[in-house]
Structure 1
Amino acid sequence: MSDRSDRYPTRLTEPAPHLERTDPTVWGRITSPELTGFDANGYAMIPDLLSPEEVAAFGAEIGHLAADPVLYGDERVVVEPVAGQVRSVFQVHKLSKPIAELLTESRIVGLAEQILGSAVYLHQSRVNYMPGFGGSGFAWHSDFETWHAEDGMPAPRAVSLSIALTDNFPFNGSLMLMPGSHRTFVPCLGETPDGHYRESLREQRFGVPTNDDITFLAARFGITQFTGRAGSALLFDSNLMHGSSNNITPFPRSNIFLVFNSVENALDEPYAAPRRRPAHIAAREVTPVRRVPEAVAALADQAR
């Protein structure tokens, strides 16, 4: 590890300047009109990625997962720090056949392939729940900072796809984004504690920018929100600065969250953590997702 080049040093003992990104944002060729602004903004909003019927079916599916008593106590299940309800279920593609089938469809994995310019594999999958009257937000952060520091992801050549299964309003904890911030890497302070993932998945305290960092970025890039009806989706760059506030409304928010990494960007040893995180958080099996044509997927849907 000592002779390994680290172009994105983080978890430092002293503040360091922000780093302007040298890696591309779009590695491939964009063919979907919805992705036209991805290079400049670091994200794209895709309305109606799922039909109302699919939203209902997947909503029921994730409801069963959250209520499954067998999963309670499983380390793949993360519980809200305040409300005590299920916050996230990780490795959901291994717990749900419909979600495993969904991610292989061209309309899903094809989006990631366009941006990343290669075959892709599933770095992480989960379902996020933000219950009403108690859903906790996520502090401002870059996913890549964590994946680089704690998982050994070499470059920001990964994207996340968040598929809304409930309406995202401006007031129920919907994701806030800083357009263009994906081009700036923010080194964070503090040595990563051993086993940090157990706490960070509930409330992250390491790997988060300072208030001064966020103030500077917000003045430079501004803040927008991912809002829209159930079935819409957000595809965003791994280094995009984002976060969300608590949900104090009666309207819950939930989504399927899929992270695709390029097969050419496989994980190494962590750059700034004492040991690897578990495979259900950071997959190390680089098996390309095999695309299923839409016609085949439609037949499978009819069979279900």
Structure 2
Amino acid sequence: MTTTTATLDAYPTRTQGGEFLARSHPTVWGSGTDGPFDDVALKAHARRGYTILPDFISADEVSEFNAELHRLSTDRSLLGDERIITEKVSGEVRSIFQVEQLSARIDALTRDPRLLDRARQLLGSEVYLHQTRINYMPGFKGTGFYWHSDFETWHAEDGLPAPRAVSCSIALTRNYPFNGGLMVMPGSHEVFVPGVGETPADNHASSLQEQTVGVPSEASIAALAERCGIDQFTGPAGSALWFDSNIMHASANNITPYPRSNIFLVFNSVENAPQQPFAAAAPRPNHIANRDVTPLS
């Protein structure tokens, strides 16, 4: 097992932009004997930066989780709760953070061996939840997310020293090519793209609705797309996308009648505990960036 070390900032960001930086940490920390992924799958994940697993959860589970999403989005006791993020224009629920504390069923999912064993294998250590949320993208008016690397934000504003984290997005509705499905640039996780602009105080209050600080320049996105191309996560409800924390990704607005929703879980290595933010005055709130690194069991 290899321990993350980070006494210096290996990924400077929130400057005036700059050259791409070569990634100095592995993408896959475990081996084929450590969990459900075999060596071939791990090699492909390390190369692309993502893996799609169709039928990751059953149709019955999809129905259960959709019922939970409906319950939470209509729970009037949560009105005004800081964990609820609404659409900037329509005011409809966009995301609910720290969802494992609001749903016993989702809390159990975070500890399910189907997820936990894969997260431990990819990260080569025990893991904890850095962030959880459910995302809603209603038909006709769901707004997308601009191109970004999650690690850039987690490094700059949460203090994660290295990209030793992995996200799992479980689709609860069908992902078509046209209803705002997640786009990724395969292989882009191998470089770190510095974000542009200094981090204002309480940036999270607006960035979760529309991110404008810390995103790459258009020139950087164009160069990376030319180098890597763009893939898209499509498939039936129950599919899962595992993707590296540093991969460049985005989603378009959903102007179709077909809604899109997912459960989003971020596993971080306990050996990659958050430090002080590298490009912000203070860490983001705990419901967005958990600082308790107690391993999941």
For this structure pair, what is the TM-score category when the shorter chain's length is used for normalisation?
A: over 0.9
Kindly report structure 1 stretches of 4+ aligned residues shifted beyond 4 Å: 33-36
Contact 1:82 1:136 in 2 (8 A): no
1:19 equivalent to 2:31? Answer: no
Partner of 1:227: 234
Contact 2:31 2:42 in 1 (8 A): no
CA distance in 1, matches of 2:78, 2:97: 11
CA distance in 1, matches of 2:60, 2:228: 37
1:32 equivalent to 2:34? Answer: no
Which secondary structure does the structure 2 equivalent of 1:148 belong to? helix
Partner of 2:243: 236
Distance 1:59 1:35, change over 3 A: farther
CA distance in 2, matches of 1:257, 1:146: 16
1:256 equivalent to 2:263? Answer: yes
Partner of 1:127: 134
Which secondary structure does the structure 2 equivalent of 1:182 belong to? helix
1:281 equivalent to 2:288? Answer: yes
Partner of 2:69: 62
Which secondary structure does the structure 1 equivalent of 2:220 belong to? helix
1:183 equivalent to 2:190? Answer: yes
Once the two structures are aligned, what percentage of the paired residues are identical? Answer: 59
Structure 2 unaligned runs (5+)? 1-5
Partner of 1:42: 49
Q: CA RMSD in A?
A: 1.1
User: 2:70 corresponds to which letter in structure 1?
Assistant: G
Partner of 1:168: 175
1:203-228 alpha-carbon deviations (Å, 9 max, x no partner): 00001001100100000000010000
1:10 equivalent to 2:17? Answer: no
User: 1:182 corresponds to which letter in structure 2?
Assistant: H
User: 1:19 corresponds to which letter in structure 2?
Assistant: L
CA distance in 1, matches of 2:296, 2:42: 20
User: 1:28 corresponds to which letter in structure 2?
Assistant: G
Partner of 2:3: none
Contact 2:28 2:42 in 1 (8 A): no
TM-score normalised per structure 1:
0.93
1:158-200 alpha-carbon deviations (Å, 9 max, x no partner): 0000000000000000000000000010011111000000100
Partner of 2:199: 192
User: 1:259 corresponds to which letter in structure 2?
Assistant: V
Partner of 1:97: 104
CA distance in 2, matches of 1:192, 1:231: 36
Deviation at 1:15, TM superposition (A): 2.7
Which secondary structure does the structure 2 equivalent of 1:246 belong to? coil
CA distance in 2, matches of 1:58, 1:189: 37
Deviation at 1:83, TM superposition (A): 2.1
1:270 equivalent to 2:277? Answer: yes
Q: How many residues align?
A: 287
TM-score normalised per structure 2:
0.95
Which secondary structure does the structure 2 equivalent of 1:147 belong to? helix
CA distance in 1, matches of 2:144, 2:186: 19
Partner of 1:298: none
User: 1:9 corresponds to which letter in structure 2?
Assistant: P
Deviation at 1:4, TM superposition (A): 4.8
CA distance in 1, matches of 2:162, 2:188: 16
CA distance in 1, matches of 2:108, 2:85: 24
Deviation at 1:283, TM superposition (A): 0.5
CA distance in 2, matches of 1:92, 1:263: 20
Partner of 1:299: none
Structure 1 unaligned runs (5+)? 291-304
Contact 1:194 1:274 in 2 (8 A): yes
CA distance in 2, matches of 1:84, 1:254: 17
User: 2:260 corresponds to which letter in structure 1?
Assistant: R
User: 2:128 corresponds to which letter in structure 1?
Assistant: Y
Which secondary structure does the structure 1 equivalent of 2:276 belong to? coil
Deviation at 1:265, TM superposition (A): 0.1
1:76-117 alpha-carbon deviations (Å, 9 max, x no partner): 000011221100000000000000001101101111111000
Partner of 1:71: 78
Contact 1:149 1:273 in 2 (8 A): yes
Deviation at 1:35, TM superposition (A): 4.5
Deviation at 1:22, TM superposition (A): 1.4
